[in-house]
Chain A
Amino acid sequence: MHSRILTDEKNLLQQIAQGDEAAFSTLFYAYLTILQSFIMKLTRSATDTEEVVQETFMRLWMGRDKLAEVRSLHAWIYTIAANECYKFLKKRSSREQGLAYIDNNGEIDRGDDAVAERMDLKEVHQLIIEAVGQLPAQRRRIYQMSRDEGMKIAEIAERLDISPNTVKNTLVVSLGFIRKYLAERGYEL
């Protein structure tokens, strides 16, 4: 039903799974309108909408290796987005309760907690840097060639004189390690 959004979805998902940023951009813009429109209705705030959309796509990106196996892309995206929406509603509702509390006590929230609570992406980024630092040397090198230098799997394989499959598997293992590292620190992706 949604297949007409993206032509050759399967091929696109394969490319994203291999870390292709341009392919991910195509997916991003294909789903942006729907997500933005719905989330805006839910949050009624452009800033919050941006945040929820960003978290959704961040989770998609950090789970990109799984996209190669995904049967229904829109179901996959909606599940992640729905979860981010739920987390947002929950956070907003507890924030409102918190404010009522402040109100009654006449004490003032300097807003610092709001800052802390809004730090997710930056913290995730820091944690990922930490996690990459813990990868064995060769794995780290392959990861950085892929992510920092933007090299394709075939290029990395040629440079290091190993098989493309080894590169591919190593990247999947590294991504899995990063997710586990994040999950242990409270960021379930």
Chain B
Amino acid sequence: MQSQRIHYLLDRYIKGLLTGQEEQELAKFLQDPAQESFFQAELVRLLEAEGELLMDSTAGEAGEKWEAVLQQVLSVDKTMGEDGVRVRRIGYLFRRWSVAAILLLLFGGGTLLFLHGREAKPVVTVATKPAAPIQPGANKAILTLANGQQIILNNAQKGTIGQQGNIRVIKLDSGQLAYASPTVESPADQLAKGPLYNTISTPRGGQYQVTLADGTKVWLNAESSIRFPTAFAGKNREVELTGEAYFEVKADKSKPFVVKAGQTETRVLGTNFNIMAYSDEGAVKTTLLDGAVSMALGTQSTLLQPGEQGQYDAGRGNMTTRMVNTRAVVAWKDGYYFFDRTPVQNVMRQIARWYDVTIVYQGAAPKDEIVGKLPRTADVKDVLHIMELIGIHFKIEGKTIVVQG
């Protein structure tokens, strides 16, 4: 009898036809250990039916998600990473934690939603809490004109945003900065006067996207700056970078695009690449996504292939090339962190720049490496909470994060 009842209830449950009363009944059966074998038998029967149904179907969705699931299963009984360093995976945790994350992130907003399955039902309304003092970064930067005048850039502005001499600085809808002068100057006149250099810098906790005069798009990461001429009049298109940026260079075979970062010079004709040149990272890393670039240091130069990263190590004074996971390198510009066996200290430096916090280590810094993906919009407490789950402990004191050894 009970077995038939469970059969009926499960069937209705899968079809989404349970009445409130039947739902209660099913819950009661589920909480009764004596019914386990009936459920077990019913579920096997349903799985067999599914197997029959799908017998002739071709393989379904495989994809990266499932490959990751498989790899996590295969790693569960390994005791170390390939080179003996303990590897901590946070991607899995983050995925499992995402429902909780939704709860946490909505917490300050007024209505707390419990999301599960296909329905979202409001559970309880809470008072709005004051915003946390530590915020993730946002789109913001400062434009410094040739005459030293500074203009704060954010998403909102449009139109004329500044004036240098008799030239107006206009921000177009595309985000491009344009320079308009009341009298038309010939390129020769402009060249004679010398180019006007502007600088865009992002603070800690800022990022910004800009389109240069030649149509090249530049994404600036936090605590970075780019110095560029308002028009590319010379033989080369030269810009200077500090910090990190992703470039989509407009193709122009006659005028190479040159990025100076630290002691390195990256030269391209038109392609996509990322340069990371934060001084506290101890190296300049140029990562090529497609096309070809040359990375030079003095008279030494290396031609990079797509997927390769050229690395100039200032301490060792040498230049090396290796294949890297390019998606991980440029993930920041798409709004997430992608850690691919990234040492904890490196992860913490990224957190410091994006959340504008100071990191202090109490005792030795953890030697672990992190693997996983996190949205950059996540609250810092949630990010730290995930890292807590894998055994790294923190204390937040104002704008300082103490990593406890």
* Number of B residues with CB within 8 Å of any CB on chain A: 62
Interface residues of A in 91-119 (CB under 8 A from B): 92-94, 96-97, 99, 102-103, 106, 108-112, 114-115, 118-119
The chain A residue sitting closest to B385, CB to CB, is A115
Please tell me if the beta carbons of B97 and A115 are within 8 angstroms of each other in the complex. yes
Q: Which residues of the partner chain A approach B50 to less than 8 Å between Cβ atoms?
A: 34, 37-38, 41
Q: Is B252 an interface residue (CB 8 A)?
A: no
Interface stretch (choices B64-72, B142-150, B204-212, B235-243): B64-72
Stretch from B116-124, B216-224, B392-400 forming part of the interface with A: B116-124
Please tell me if the beta carbons of A32 and B66 are within 8 angstroms of each other in the complex: yes
Say yes or no: A114 contacts B100, CB within 8 Å.
Answer: yes
A162 at the binding interface (Cβ < 8 Å): no
Consensus secondary structure, chain B interface: helix
Asked if B79 and A148 sit within 8 Å, CB to CB, the answer is yes
Q: Which residues of A contact B62 (CB under 8 A)?
A: 29, 32
CB distance from B221 to the nearest CB of A (A): 30
Q: Is the CB of A81 within 8 A of B31?
A: no
Interface status of A132 (Cβ within 8 A of chain B): yes
* B126 x A61 contact (CB < 8 A): no
| Complexed CA–CA distance, A103 and B126 (Å) | 11
Within 8 Å CB of A29, what residues of B? 59, 62, 66
Scoring B100, B104, B107 by chain A CB atoms within 10 A of each residue's CB, the highest score goes to B100
Q: How far is the CB of B52 from chain A (nearest CB, A)?
A: 8
CA distance in complex: A51, B369 (Å):
24
Q: Is the CB of B116 within 8 A of A82?
A: no
For residue A21, CB closer than 8 A to chain B, the reply is yes
A154 interfacial contact with B, CB 8 Å: no
Q: How long is the Cα–Cα vector from A147 to B73 in the complex, in angstroms?
A: 12
Q: Encode B42-79 as 1/0 by CB contact (under 8 A) with A.
A: 01101110110011010111100110011011111111
Contact (Cβ within 8 A) A128 B76: yes
Classify the interface of chain A: helix, strand, loop or mixed. Answer: helix
**CB of B179 within 8 A of chain A?**
no
**Interface assignment of A11: CB less than 8 Å from any CB of chain B:** no
Please determine whether A86 and B72 come into contact, CB atoms closer than 8 angstroms.
no
**A37 surroundings in chain B (CB, below 8 A):** 50, 54, 60
Q: Which of A42-61 contact B (CB under 8 A)?
A: 42-45, 47-48, 50-51, 53-54, 57-58, 61
* A148 engages B78 (CB within 8 Å): yes
CB <8 Å contact, B26 and A34: no
Minimum CB–CB distance from A119 to chain B (whole Å) comes to 7
Complex-state Cα separation, A42 to B30, whole angstroms: 14
Interface size on A, residues (CB 8 A): 69
Q: A21-B74, A108-B124 are contacts. A83–B54 as well, Cβ < 8 Å?
A: no
Other-chain residue from B60, B89, B103 in contact with A111 (beta carbon distance below 8 A): B103
- Contact between A61 and B124 (Cβ–Cβ < 8 Å)? no
Contacts of B390 in A (CB 8 A): 122
Interface centre among B46, B70, B92 (most CB of A within 10 A): B70
Q: How far is the CB of B77 from chain A (nearest CB, A)?
A: 5
Smallest CB–CB gap between A29 and chain B, Å?
Answer: 6
Q: A47 to chain B: which residues have CB within 8 Å?
A: 95-96, 98-99
| Interface residue from A21, A89, A108, A147 paired with B30 (Cβ < 8 Å) | A89
Query: Is A33 part of the contact surface with B, judged by Cβ < 8 Å?
Result: yes
Q: A61-B76, A82-B43 are in contact. Are A54 and B69 (CB under 8 A)?
A: yes
A-B contacts, 26 of them at CB < 8 A, read A28-B66, A32-B59, A32-B66, A33-B59, A34-B51, A35-B47, A38-B46, A44-B16, A45-B118, A47-B95, A48-B116, A54-B69, A57-B73, A58-B73, A58-B76, A78-B44, A79-B44, A82-B40, A90-B30, A92-B116, A114-B103, A122-B93, A132-B79, A144-B79, A144-B80, A147-B77
Residues of A whose CB lies within 8 Å of any CB of B are 2, 21, 24-25, 28-29, 32-38, 41-45, 47-48, 50-51, 53-54, 57-58, 61-62, 74-75, 78-79, 81-83, 85-86, 89-90, 92-94, 96-97, 99, 102-103, 106, 108-112, 114-115, 118-119, 121-122, 124-125, 128-129, 132-133, 144, 147-148, 178
